[in-house]
A and B are shown apart, each in its own frame.
Chain A
Amino acid sequence: MMAVATVSRPRWLSVVGLLGVVAVAGTVWLGLWITPPDVTQGNLARLLYIHPPLATVALYWAGSVAAAGSLLYLWPRTRSLFWDRLAAAAVEVGAVFSALTLITGSLWGRPAWGAWWTWDARLTSTALLLLLELGYLALRRVPADVAVRARRCAVAALLVAVDVPIVHFSVDWWQTLHQTGTVLDPGFHLHVHGSMAWTLLLGFIAFSLIFVWLLGVRYRIEVLQDMVGDQELEVSLVERWSEGTELAGVGSAGRGRPGGETP
């Protein structure tokens, strides 16, 4: 019977997850009940506490971890499956956050802009980011040797990372319907005021904690998947080996019999 693969779950990860959930609940409470409506957008501005933090995680945190992990895997001196798995986990969690960014942006865009979607540079490059991340995940599921898969995926993650600065600078490089930098402009001037700024800061912390938690959980699943794959391979080899031994036994028995098969 095949042994069940297990991986120890660090306690700090559960603590981070719990803190993340509490912080998200706090953000929702402050965002919906405590902060004032915006002078121009009214209650629509309450999406401010969700949408930019989601985008920050999708773009900067997930993008950085995936790019750094892939570079460290490709660098011969630091090559380890740890970096490959970490990058894979970051891309998968990043894809979830990219999708949530696009969904919340669309929900905000309809009443604020007057359109669910439009093909400006910021929205298009963000949609491209999600597509590239999904492409990475598809590539990861192509059957291949572990080392070959890791190398392919590392290169693919670096291609995904090329889109990250394009998304970030799209509102500065081109004229877009999307607003410029939400929290700080290129001159590092804050544009969000009072309790709205503090709630937004809590939103950033909350979704960053959720990202770290999901990253850890997804990394653990990646390790377990590889372990199950290894165990299945070993079981298959043992079965094939035993089949060969049985056939060899039958063959030698046949040769030992009078009138048996001749070589």
Chain B
Amino acid sequence: MTDLSTGSTPTATRASTGVPGGPALPMLRDRHRGRLWLVGAVLIAAFVFLLIEGLGSSLNYFDTVDQAFAHRGSLGTTTFRLEGNVVPGTIRSTSVGANFSISEGDHVVRVVNTGSPPQLFQSGIPVVLVGHFTSTTSDDFASNSILVKHSANYIARYPTRVTAKNGSVR
């Protein structure tokens, strides 16, 4: 039987201690190990630095409406992802999808979407659209995909609803 807390076995213990080398070998081995650690640390630091600093901007999944207006000229009619809140009362169903507006601050973008909106699409929620401005000067956005960006808030739909003694919900 072996103790589960250590799980050590004779061979395992023997193997873990290693074979002692001559008087000069441990020094060389330590220096070699030190260099390996240094190389490893530099590689990890470079990996993290590149990820955060170098790729940081390209890892943003979308541009907000404000960001899109800030570099409106360079965007032109290229396809990108645009995020904004659906303006209440602007959703109109069409034969090919839905028209609506999204906003952030004072900026409003009119959206012409083709394709079925997702299940949770509704007024007042943030959405991410895949598409492009219809011209270099227009604020109209033609999108072919809507992704709902739901918040981290979870609130009961019927907070005042109670369960009666017979089990029915009112």
Give the complex CA separation of A261 and B149 in angstroms: 87
Q: Least Cβ distance of A113 to chain B in Å?
A: 5
A193 to B154: give the CA distance in the assembly, Å. 6
Q: How large is the interface on A (under 10, 10 to 19, 20 to 34, 35 or more residues)?
A: 35 or more
Shortest Cβ gap from A200 to chain B (Å): 8
Are the C-beta atoms of A7 and B12 separated by less than 8 Å?
A: no
Is A233's CB within 8 Å of the partner chain B? Answer: yes
Closest to B163 in A: A34
In the complex, the answer to whether A179 meets B12 with C-beta atoms within 8 Å is no
A38 x B155 contact (CB < 8 A): yes
Which of A38, A114, A180, A226 is B154 in contact with, Cβ under 8 Å? A38
Given A40-B120, A162-B48, answer yes or no on A7-B4 (Cβ-Cβ < 8 Å): yes
Determine how close the nearest CB of chain A comes to the CB of B153; give it in whole angstroms.
Answer: 5
Query: In the assembled complex, which residues on chain A have CB atoms less than 8 Å from the CB atom of B6?
Result: 80-82
For A166, the chain B residues whose CB sits under 8 A away are: 48, 51
Quick one: given A8-B1, A114-B146, are A42 and B157 in contact (CB under 8 Å)? yes
A196 to B128, CA, bound (A): 27
Given contacts A48-B154, A145-B15, contact A113 B1 (CB under 8 A): no
State whether A40 and B51 are in contact (beta carbons under 8 Å apart), knowing that A174-B59, A177-B128 are contacts in the complex: no
Q: Is the CB of B61 within 8 A of A10?
A: no
CB of A263 within 8 A of chain B?
no
User: What's the minimum C-beta distance from B155 to chain A, rounded to whole angstroms?
Assistant: 5
* Pairwise interchain contact A194-B156, C-beta atoms closer than 8 A: yes
A111 touches B120 (CB 8 A): yes
B120 touches A227 (CB 8 A): no
Interface pair A191/B153, CB less than 8 Å apart: yes
Contacts A176-B61, A179-B151; is A41 near B120 (CB within 8 Å)?
yes
Q: A223 and B120 in contact (CB under 8 A), knowing A36-B156, A179-B151?
A: no
Interface residue? B148 (CB, 8 A): yes
- Measured between alpha carbons, how far is A159 from B18 in the docked complex, in Å? 25
CA distance A182 to B11 in the complex (A): 47
Q: Other CB < 8 Å A-B pairs besides A38-B156, A114-B119, A191-B152, 7 of them?
A: A36-B156, A40-B151, A113-B118, A114-B120, A114-B145, A175-B62, A177-B147
Which A residues lie at the B interface, using CB under 8 A? 5-10, 35-42, 44-45, 48, 79-82, 85, 111-115, 118-121, 145-147, 150, 155, 158-159, 162, 166, 170, 173-177, 179-182, 185, 191-196, 219-220, 222-223, 226-227, 229-230, 233-234
13 pairs from A and B in contact (CB 8 Å cutoff): A38-B155, A39-B157, A82-B7, A114-B145, A118-B147, A121-B60, A170-B59, A173-B59, A174-B56, A222-B7, A223-B7, A226-B12, A227-B2
